[in-house]
A and B are shown apart, each in its own frame.
Chain A
Amino acid sequence: MERVVDPLVNKPSAWRTRSELIGFLIMVLVLAVAPFLTYPLFLMQAMCFALFACAFNLLIGYVGLLSFGHALYFGWASYLSAHAAKVWGLSPELAILTGTATAAICGLVAGSLAIRRQGIYFAMITLALAQMMYFYALQAKLTGGEDGIQGVPRGRLFGLVDLHNEMAMYSVVLAIFLAGVLFIYRIIHSPFGEVLKAIRENEARAISLGYKTDRYKLVAFVLSATLAGVAGATKAIVLQLASLTDVNWPMSGEVVLMTLVGGLGTIFGPVVGAFVILLMQFKLAPIGEWVLVIQGGIFVACVLLFRRGIVGEIANKLHIRL
């Protein structure tokens, strides 16, 4: 994939971390103030999708693998989290853990199949596997079929904090989101992350240097699926709902769109992209099906005109890394 050429290769390394640090602080500040200015529920939903997009970006942006089936991990984590909270009566943190573990297992199985093929086939395999699990969700008892799982109780965090309080829920989601972003940042800048980038740039060469690239790809895939699971599981608790929309293929397309709009292979791109796309859907809801046409148009425009995405363009203009 074409990516932002790192403009800071020759500059002192203090600068590199600083622009990312400043970006992170701005993000924290905005998200801390935002619930007082706009609907907390919208923000919480947006943060869940932002984390989902960041998880997806870990694969496409840093390993160069396009998964077209990330709805599988998001959706099934959301189902299991909702089921655990509603039917098993688990506390929210355990419900989210249950959902996350489900996504991790699904990621391990789907990932080990998908990494057997490269490039375009990888995308088709992930899409097909996700569709298979969509059909399964349609029939399975646990998912509630067309109805989904409704009225999921938010419960009490660690048995103490009542999450039906909007601000308490907001703080939890914010904490999960920030922890997720920091975790991804840590992965990207670890030696493991450097190997991932090497695979993205030239897999054959990474193999010749003695790296077992399949294992690296699988671990990256499982990490990405797991984080997508965290996002989905949290979303089920926040919106108190898990439905077929979350596992169906348009959801997989949406997360690709968010990441593409924000900027592939940037830390903050997926976050910005998720907020932009959700805001757009929210504002354009009255015009119905035209949203689909507009989303398609954005896809086309992004691919043809600005492949760097919003954050990628800014970073490129300012010669910084974001």
Chain B
Amino acid sequence: MIEIFGIPSQALFGQLLIGLINGSFYALLSLGLAVIFGMLNIINFSHGAQYMMGAFAAYLILQYSGLGYWPALIIAPIIVGITGVIVERLFLQWLYKLDHLYGLLLTFGLALIFEGVARNYFGSAGLPYTVPESLQGGRNLGFMFLPNYRAWVIVASLVVCIGTWFVIERTRLGAYLRAATENPTLVRAFGINVPRMITLTYGFGVALAAFAGVMAAPIYNVSPQMGSELIIVVFAVVVIGGMGSILGAIVTGFGLGVIEGLTKVFFPEASNTVIFVIMAIVLLVRPAGLFGRRA
């Protein structure tokens, strides 16, 4: 067996892979947070709960209609996205003129509601969700064993992240979005329905979280608290990256996932806290975040 820095290469690459998987979820979630924050000026605290809802939606779709992973990967984000649209119309739209903090408090309340309901119906223990047949097994790369499903998660989230970046930065629709972020009044004067764009943006951001949730379902168990544990780490990721740049959110997400994975190899006690420590260091050295613009 080959050893690198005194660590068996199997373990090293294994943790690197787990790091990349976690990084995929950090990237997808912080991307959604950044997109929502850009348009709504709200930090969506319920993002973790909506990620959890995505996983549960996939689970329920399998239970009640027998539809498996692939249909769920499309249907679950749409359903959760629609609940997002409803949430925006019912609650969030009244908050845009208020201080940002009220948006955080309201979505925190929503997160408690979603998580509480899930716990009531499904208990706190995790429910299993199997890897789709087409992605079972794996391949031996010579230096490590790569399960097919994990490879798929990394590739799929990269594609979705870059796709989102492309839409926002390189298309006409994205130009409207960016313009509405800068100056909504002026964009409305050009005859673009900005409130509807805001609603759909929220729906899209939430759907992104749900998509991540469906992908996470076969890896972690489906459980009510899967989101709340993750969202706080994602907040730290967002503080480190800054929300000014889409590409920044993606790079920071993957990067921190990898760093976390490596920490698990070299200094396992700190693997839970390493992202927070990095956040503290970034705050000391570059208070605006790695990709942030000074407000």
Contacts and interface: CB of A to CB of B under 8 A. Distances in A.
A127 B45 CA distance: 12
A136 B99 CA distance: 33
Interface in A160-219: none
B121 to A, nearest CB: 9
Query: Interface on chain A toward B: helix, strand, loop, or mixed SS?
Result: helix
A293 B105 contact: no
Contacts of A119: 100-101, 295
A296 B108 CA distance: 7
Interface stretch (B181-189, B193-201, B252-260, B280-288): B280-288
Nearest to B43: A120
B116 A293 contact: yes
A295 interface: yes
B104 A125 contact: no
Interface string A266-308: 0000000000000000000000111111011111101110010
B272 A135 contact: yes
A140 to B, nearest CB: 10
Interface stretch (B10-18, B144-152, B208-216, B231-239): B231-239
Contacts of A139: 269, 272
B112 A304 contact: no
Given A128-B236, A129-B276, A135-B273, A288 B120 contact: yes
Contact of A113 (B98, B116, B280): B280
B235 A128 contact: yes
Classify the secondary structure of B's interface with A: helix
B94 interface: yes
Which range contains the number of B residues in contact with the other chain? 35 or more
A114 B276 CA distance: 12
B91 A290 contact: no
Contacts of A131: 232-233, 236, 276
Contacts of A128: 232-233, 235-236, 239, 276, 279
B248 to A, nearest CB: 15
B113 A297 contact: yes
Interface string B222-266: 000000100011011011000000000000000000000000000
Interface string B116-158: 1101100000000000000000000000000000000000000
Interface residues of A, number: 45
B95 interface: yes
A121 B239 contact: yes
Contact of A289 (B116, B232, B235, B287): B116
A303 B239 contact: no
A195 B101 CA distance: 21
A116 interface: yes
Interface in A103-156: 113-114, 116-121, 123-125, 127-129, 131-132, 135-136, 138-139
B40 to A, nearest CB: 12
A261 B7 CA distance: 53
Contacts of B273: 132, 135-136
Contact of B43 (A123, A260, A299): A123
B71 interface: no
A158 to B, nearest CB: 39
Contacts of A136: 273
B207 to A, nearest CB: 22
B182 to A, nearest CB: 18
Contact of A304 (B94, B238, B272): B94
B112 A132 contact: no
Contacts of B91: 300, 304
Interface of B: 37, 43, 91, 94-95, 98-102, 104-106, 108-117, 119-120, 228, 232-233, 235-236, 238-239, 269, 272-273, 276-277, 279-280, 283-284, 287-288, 295
Given A60-B101, A296-B111, 19 more contacts: A116-B284, A119-B295, A120-B37, A120-B100, A124-B239, A127-B232, A128-B279, A129-B276, A132-B276, A138-B272, A249-B232, A253-B108, A253-B112, A293-B116, A296-B108, A299-B112, A300-B110, A303-B105, A307-B102
5 nearest CB pairs, A to B? A299-B109, A296-B112, A292-B116, A132-B276, A296-B113
